[in-house]
Structure 1
C-alpha cells in the first residue's frame, strides 16, 4: 500500500495539470460509470491529500475520493489519449494530460457533508500544514496500545506506513512495543518532526529514503533504509529482529531500541 508521501506527490503533480480545468471523466472499465457521469464536464477546483486518501475537488461541491489500497495504481500521461492499460476504473482528462486510476480500494463521488465526514475520521496528516499534532498526542498519550501500532493507525496519525514506522522508531531509539501512554511529549514531538522530515524527502525524491545521507540532484532514487527488511543493524552491528504488530511486520534492534 502506498505510504503518505506517494499520495501527496500524486496530489501535487495532478494539481499542476488538472486544477482550474474542465475535465472529461469516464470509466473505461465501466464499474464507475454512474460516478463518472456526476463529475464529467465539471471544473476541477483542486487536488489534495489527507494521509493515504486522494481528493479531487470539483465545482458544485462534489469531490472524487480515491484510496488506492493494496493494489490501486495511478498513471499520468500526456495527450493524445491512448488505449487504457488494464482495468481503468476512472479516467480524468484535462487539456494536456490524462490520469488513469486502476484498481483502487475506494472510488466514490462525495458531496460536501460526506467529505467532511471522511476527513473528520482521518487523523492529523504529518504532511499537511493544518495538521493538529496535539490531537494525535492526546490519542497516543491515553492509549495502552504499542506506539508501533498507534502511528500506523490512520485515525491517530495519517500518512505513516509500515516502512516509515520501522525507520522512525529506530532512528529515535523507541521500542515499537512501548505503550503509547509511556511516550513523553518530548519524544512524541521528535517522532512527529522526524516523520515530517522523512515524508517530505519522500515527496521530493519520490522514494522512501531514511538514511542520513540524502543524495543531491533531482530524479527518483531507489529506496534507502536503515533496518527495514535488513538482518544487521547499521548502528551497533547487532541482529535486527522481525516481529508483528497487528499482523504487520515490524523490524527492530533490541540493543538500539531498548524496551522501557
Structure 2
C-alpha cells in the first residue's frame, strides 16, 4: 500500500497537469460511470492529499472556492489501497509521464512509462483505456487513468470535512496539529507500533516509515503509548516530517544515515522485491542500503550486530532490533539528536 509521501506526489502531479482546466471524466470499467458523467466537463479547482487519501475538487466555474462549502463543488475521493494506481500520459513534460501506485507485488512507490502500444507515434490522445480503468481524467495536455482503487467516490463539502476531522495529523500538511497525535498516543494502552499504523492517530505513515521511525527513535514497537514521555512522541513526529518530505520530493524512502549504508547492506527481498522510484538510476541510494530494519529480519542490525526480528502487529509485519530498540518507559533517556555513541556500530 502506498505511504503518505506517494499521495502527496500524486497531488503534485495532478496540480501540475490539470489544475484550473476543464477536464473530461469517463469510466471505461463502468463502476464510476454515473458520477463521471455528472462531473464531466467541470473545472479541476484544487487537489488535496491527506494521509493516504486523494481529493480532487471539481466545480462548474473556475472562480469557485473549493473550501467555501459551496454545494456546486464536488470532491472525487480516491484511496488506492493495496492494488490501486494512477497512470499518466501526455505531452512532453506533462506530469513527468509516469505511473504511481502500489501493486501488491511491490512496496512503496514505482514509476514507469505508460504502455502506449495503442497510440500512433506516441500520441497520448489515441491511447485506448484498459477495461480495468475505473476513472479516466483527460485535460488539455494529458490524461490520468485510475485502476484498482479501494475507494473512488464523490464527496460533498461535509464529507470532506468529516474525513479530515477523523484522520490524524499528516506530517506533510501545513495545517497538521501534532498535539492530536501526542494526546492520542499518551492516553493509549496500545503499543506504539500499532498506533503509528492507525490512520486516525497519524495519517500517512505506513509499514516502512513505522518500522524505520521506531528504530531511529530507539523505541520498542510493543511499548504502550501511555508509557512514553511527551518528548519521545514529539521526537517521532519531528523525525517523520523531514523523512516524509524527502519521500514526497524524490519518490524514495531512505532512512539510513550515509555512514551506515554500507554496513550489512542487505535486505530480505520478496519474490518481486521492495521496489522504489528510480531503482534503475545508479545515482540513487539502493534499497538494500535505504532501511535499518524494514525487511531485514534474520539479518544483523547495521549498528549493533543483533539479529533483526519481525512479528505481526495488527495484520502487518513490524521489524525491529531487540537490542537497539530497548526503550520501554518514559524514564528511559531519549534525545532527538542521537549522540555519537548511540549511533556507533558494534562488531
TM range (shorter): over 0.9
Q: Is structure 2 residue 291 aligned with structure 1 residue 225? A: yes
More strand by share: 1
The match for 1:95 is 140
Contact 2:218 2:327 in 1 (8 A): no
Contact 1:89 1:102 in 2 (8 A): yes
Unaligned runs of 5+ in 2: 60-71, 91-123, 262-276, 279-283, 329-347
Q: Between Structure 1 and Structure 2, how many residues are aligned?
A: 257
Q: What CA deviation, in whole Å up to 9, does each residue of 1:90-133 have, x standing for no partner? A: 00111001011001000001111121122211111111010000
The match for 2:14 is 14
The match for 2:35 is 35
SS class of match (1:163) = helix
Shift of 1:76: 1.0
Q: Is structure 2 residue 153 aligned with structure 1 residue 108? A: yes
1:189/1:259 CA distance change after superposition, 3 Å: closer
The match for 1:68 is 80
Contact 2:218 2:324 in 1 (8 A): yes
The match for 1:198 is 243
Q: Distance in 2 between matches of 1:162 and 1:71?
A: 16
The match for 1:248 is 316
Q: Distance in 1 between matches of 2:228 and 2:144?
A: 42
Shift of 1:71: 0.5
Shift of 1:81: 4.0
Q: What CA deviation, in whole Å up to 9, does each residue of 1:6-64 have, x standing for no partner? A: 11111111111111010000001111101111211000011110100011011121010
Contact 1:177 1:259 in 2 (8 A): no
Q: What CA deviation, in whole Å up to 9, does each residue of 1:142-181 have, x standing for no partner? A: 0000000111100010000001100000011011001011
Contact 2:28 2:131 in 1 (8 A): no
Contact 1:86 1:102 in 2 (8 A): no
Larger radius of gyration: 2
Shift of 1:80: 2.2
| TM-score computed with the length of structure 2 as normaliser | 0.72
SS class of match (2:125) = coil
Q: What CA deviation, in whole Å up to 9, does each residue of 1:229-254 have, x standing for no partner? A: 11221010110011111121001111
SS class of match (1:139) = helix
Q: 1:145 aligns with which of 190, 193, 203?
A: 190
